[in-house]
Amino acid sequence: MISERSRTAHSESADQLARRALDALRGTGGAAVAAAHVEAAASESGGDPAVALGAVRILGADVLAPYVLTGQAPSAGETAAVGLALSALPPDEAPPPPPPAGTEEAWVMAWIDWGLATVLARLDPANSPVRAAPLPQGPPRCDDSAPRGLPPATVTGGGQPDGTGSPVREGWVSWSVRMGKLASLALPGLDGPVHAAARSGALGLARGATRAALRRDHPTAARITRWLAWLRADGAALPLDPAPLTEHIALLGGGDRPALDTAVARRLLGLEDI
C-alpha cells in the first residue's frame, strides 16, 4: 500500500519534472528532461532516483513532448532514462478494462504507460524496452445528449448496457474529467480509442472545460482544454474556440503541470510566444 508520504514525494517530483519539460519546450532550459531529473535525484542529498523514475511514469508522454512538438531528437541518455522508467515496472501484459468494469486509477495508468511507451518507441526504437505496448480498451462514449443532472448510464453485462451490445455511454461531467486525466495522450502522432472518443465527444469536452473554468478548477480546465486544442489541430469542428480559453487559463496559473498542459495546447493551436 502506497503511503501518503510516498504519494506526496512522487507528486512533488512530477511537478519538478513538468517544470523541466516546460523549460525545454520553451527553449529556456536544457534539452534533457528525464535524464536531468533522474541524475539530479541521484546526486542531491536525500534524493531518490526511484521516485524520479516514478515521476516519469506519472507524467507519461509529456516527458517527451518537447521533442515531439519541436522535432528535435532526444539524446541517447534521455531515451535511456525513459526506458529505465518503463522497464523497472513494465506495463501489464493484460491491461485493465475501462471503468466501470475496472478501476479508474489502473485504467488511466495503463493508458499513460501506453502513451509513454509508444512515443518512446517512435522517437528511439533501439532504446525502447516495450516493443509493442499493450493497447488498453477505450473509454465509454460521452452521452452529449443527456440533460444535465442525469446520472451516468447504467452498465450491465460485462460493460454493455442492457445486453444490447451498444457502446457504453455516460454523462459528460464524469467523462470529461476522466479524459482530462489522459491529457498526456493529446500529442501529435498518438492515436487510439481514447482519441476516437475525444473526436466523438467534442461537445462533452467543451462543456467539461467550460465547467472546470467556471469552477476555477484550473488544472482540470487546462487538461480538458488541451484535448480541445488537439481536436482543432486534428481538423475537428468544435462548439467553441479553444484559443481564448487556453489564453485565459494560461493567465490564471495553477502550477507546473497545468502550465505544461497550456503550453502544449498553445503549440497545438499555433499560438505564438509560448
pLDDT in tens, 164-181: 445 567 789 999 999 999
Please check whether residue 18 is in contact with residue 62, taking contact to mean a CB–CB distance below 8 angstroms. Answer: yes
Report pLDDT for 130: 60
- Choice among 87-101, 124-138, 171-185, 205-219 with the minimum mean pLDDT: 124-138
pLDDT tens digits, one per residue of 179-234: 999 999 999 999 999 999 999 999 999 999 999 999 999 999 999 999 999 999 99
Predicted confidence band of residue 151 (pLDDT cuts 50, 70, 90): very low
Q: Rounded mean pLDDT of 151-163? A: 30
68 alpha-carbon distance from chain centroid: 14
- What is the C-alpha separation between 167 and 122, in angstroms, rounded? 31
Q: What's the whole-number mean pLDDT along residues 3-27?
A: 90
Phi and psi at residue 156, to the nearest 5°: -140, 170
Helix residue ranges, H only, 149-217: 172-180, 193-200, 202-214
C-alpha cell at 57: 511514469
- 149 pLDDT band (50/70/90 cuts)? very low
> Which is higher by pLDDT, 151 or 172?
172
Chain segment 20-61, per-residue pLDDT in tens: 999 999 887 667 899 999 999 988 766 789 999 999 999 999
pLDDT at 272: 65
Kindly report the pTM of this predicted structure.
0.87
Regarding predicted confidence, which is higher, 9 or 5? 9
Residues 6+ apart with CB under 8 A from 42: 49, 52
Burial readout 6-32 (b: 16 or more C-beta within 10 A, e: otherwise): eeebbeebbbbbbbbbbbbbeeebebb
Domain boundaries, the chain: 1-137, 138-274
